[in-house]
């Protein structure tokens, strides 16, 4: 099924802009909640994937919680109506004001990443006469087989507490009265191409749970983070990620005790496929060896190709002429401002509209104003 775009309306809008297909988002959320509900799994949407207020409010309507990595994200989640007791707060560098914001709203849990952080949470909670719930973010040392910029769970990564330090951290926790340990947390990376690393992750978390049980610590909350990938190559054939197999795997390889709650923090897999970046062709430029399509969108609107060498499917929405080979580039004054090299596109001319697909996650939310550019608008399929 090829996604339909409202071309007449698109012609009247200023490019570039983000276009969100609310139908795709709703179907994704329905599939996700159906599969997660089978096992009573709790889902916290990773706000960093897309913090557009309307996207947040649609997601909130499905009863999800929020996973935040900054004070700004906590505020955005609260503004969108996420209940504070469904907000978890992760991040290797939580500032005092961010921790205080969480305390003032009594968020559910801090996913803590180090002893000095635990000490600061304890101090700030104590001075407010409160007690903060924390989960320890464990570095499970599982390689996610994904791009090295988005792998987070190996020993060299800055995230989490390494297993051999766990004993020391527990000793410290015993001395902190204003924090209460309720669980363990992990997140091994993003856009993980197959499910195998998650199986390894289950095994590791069982080991860690046993390590904690030996010390008399009973873990009620286990949070497996996010990372389920989407099909960037086939957004039309494969718009909804395989949540069924994903949750089945955890159910099989992590048999939870009746007193335990299992949590996940998907970001990309919820919002990735509902969004496209729509851009207009400024010029078709003939080079010596190849032809360039110069778009009015650049890495200021979609940075993933420049940042990670990521692939996005690119379509000329205005042409069905025979295909030719082009490099597709943006207008930003950096050589890295290139979306794709030597790809086939229907013969292209100035004024054609392009869609860069699967841009719903880590697209709008990473937009910048470099080169004094304006932040683009976002439009929704049901409001056009």
Interface residues toward ligand PLP, by CB under 6 A: 46, 48-49, 67, 69, 90, 187, 190, 225-228, 265-269, 361
The CA-based dihedral angle spanning residues 190, 195, 198, 199, taken in that order and rounded to the nearest 10 degrees: -170
What is the DSSP-derived secondary structure letter of residue 301? Answer: T
Q: What angle do CA 213, 41, 266 make, to 5 degrees?
A: 105
Could you tell me the smallest distance in angstroms from the CB atom of residue 69 to ligand PLP? 6
Could you tell me the smallest distance in angstroms from the CB atom of residue 340 to ligand PLP? 22
Q: Tell me the C-alpha distance between 179 and 120, whole Å.
A: 10
Could you tell me the smallest distance in angstroms from the CB atom of residue 110 to ligand PLP? 12
Residues 6 or more apart whose Cβ sits within 8 Å of residue 94 = 110, 117, 120, 121
List the structure tokens of 164: 């051999």
Could you tell me the smallest distance in angstroms from the CB atom of residue 292 to ligand PLP? 32
Of the two residues 67 and 301, which places its CB atom closer to ligand PLP in the complex? 67
CB count in 10 Å sphere of residue 194 = 10
Of the two residues 305 and 360, which places its CB atom closer to ligand PLP in the complex? 360
Of the two residues 49 and 353, which places its CB atom closer to ligand PLP in the complex? 49
- Reported in sequence order, the residue ranges of 24-81 that DSSP labels E, i.e. its strands, are 42-46, 65-68
Of the two residues 266 and 298, which places its CB atom closer to ligand PLP in the complex? 266
Could you tell me the smallest distance in angstroms from the CB atom of residue 270 to ligand PLP? 8
Q: Looking up tokens 């995230």, which residue turns up?
A: 159
Of the two residues 281 and 361, which places its CB atom closer to ligand PLP in the complex? 361
Of the two residues 70 and 318, which places its CB atom closer to ligand PLP in the complex? 70
CA-nearest of 139, 115, 152 to 205 is 139
Task: Report H helices in 108-262.
Answer: 115-127, 166-174, 196-214, 243-253
Could you tell me the smallest distance in angstroms from the CB atom of residue 319 to ligand PLP? 33
Of the two residues 228 and 306, which places its CB atom closer to ligand PLP in the complex? 228
List the structure tokens of 269: 């897999």
Of the two residues 329 and 361, which places its CB atom closer to ligand PLP in the complex? 361
> CA distances (Å), 242 to each of 36, 246, 347, 363, in order?
12, 6, 35, 22
Could you tell me the smallest distance in angstroms from the CB atom of residue 315 to ligand PLP? 24
CA-nearest of 231, 238, 243, 229 to 145 is 229
Could you tell me the smallest distance in angstroms from the CB atom of residue 215 to ligand PLP? 25
Map residue 196 onto helix, strand or coil.
helix
CA-nearest of 222, 165, 229, 161 to 191 is 229
Of the two residues 208 and 228, which places its CB atom closer to ligand PLP in the complex? 228
Could you tell me the smallest distance in angstroms from the CB atom of residue 269 to ligand PLP? 6
Q: What angle do CA 377, 380, 382 make, to 5 degrees?
A: 150
> Is residue 78 within 8 Å of residue 104, measured between CB atoms?
no
Task: Report H helices in 50-113.
Answer: 53-60, 71-79, 96-105
List the structure tokens of 144: 């996610």
Could you tell me the smallest distance in angstroms from the CB atom of residue 42 to ligand PLP? 13
Of the two residues 6 and 309, which places its CB atom closer to ligand PLP in the complex? 309
Q: Tell me the C-alpha distance between 103 and 310, whole Å.
A: 38
């Amino acid at each position: 099924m090829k996604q339909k775009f409202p071309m007449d309306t698109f012609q009247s809008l200023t490019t570039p802009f983000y276009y969100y297909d609310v139908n795709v988002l709703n179907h994704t959320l329905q599939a996700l909640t159906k599969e997660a509900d089978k096992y009573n799994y709790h889902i916290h949407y990773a706000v960093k994937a897309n913090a557009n207020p309307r996207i947040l409010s649609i997601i909130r309507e499905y009863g999800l919680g929020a996973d935040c990595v900054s004070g700004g994200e906590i505020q955005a989640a609260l503004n969108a109506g996420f209940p504070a007791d469904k907000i978890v707060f992760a991040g290797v560098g939580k500032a005092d004001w961010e921790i205080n914001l969480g305390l003032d709203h009594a968020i559910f849990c801090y996913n803590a990443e180090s002893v000095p952080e635990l000490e600061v949470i304890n101090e700030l909670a104590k001075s407010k006469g409160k007690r903060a719930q924390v989960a320890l973010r464990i570095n499970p040392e599982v390689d996610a087989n994904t791009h090295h910029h988005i792998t987070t769970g190996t020993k060299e990564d800055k995230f989490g507490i390494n297993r051999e330090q766990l004993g020391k951290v527990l000793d410290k926790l015993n001395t902190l009265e204003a924090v209460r340990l309720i669980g363990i947390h992990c997140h091994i990376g993003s856009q993980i191409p197959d499910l195998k690393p998650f199986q390894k992750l289950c095994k590791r978390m069982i080991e860690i749970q046993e390590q904690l049980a030996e010390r008399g610590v009973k873990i009620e909350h286990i949070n497996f983070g996010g990372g389920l990938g989407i099909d960037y190559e086939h957004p039309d054939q494969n718009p909804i990620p395989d949540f069924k197999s994903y949750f089945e795997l955890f159910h099989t390889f992590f048999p939870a005790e009746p007193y335990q709650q299992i949590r996940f923090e998907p970001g990309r897999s919820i919002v990735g496929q509902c969004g496209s970046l729509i851009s207009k062709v400024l010029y078709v430029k003939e080079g010596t060896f190849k032809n360039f399509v110069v778009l009015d969108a650049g890495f200021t609107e979609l940075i993933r190709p420049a940042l990670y060498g990521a692939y996005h499917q690119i379509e000329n929405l205005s042409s069905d002429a025979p295909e030719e080979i082009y490099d597709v580039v943006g207008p930003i004054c950096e050589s890295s401002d290139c979306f794709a090299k030597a790809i086939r596109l229907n013969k292209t001319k100035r004024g054609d509209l392009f869609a860069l697909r699967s841009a719903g996650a880590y697209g709008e939310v990473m937009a910048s104003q470099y080169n004094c550019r304006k932040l683009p608008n976002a439009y929704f399929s049901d409001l056009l």
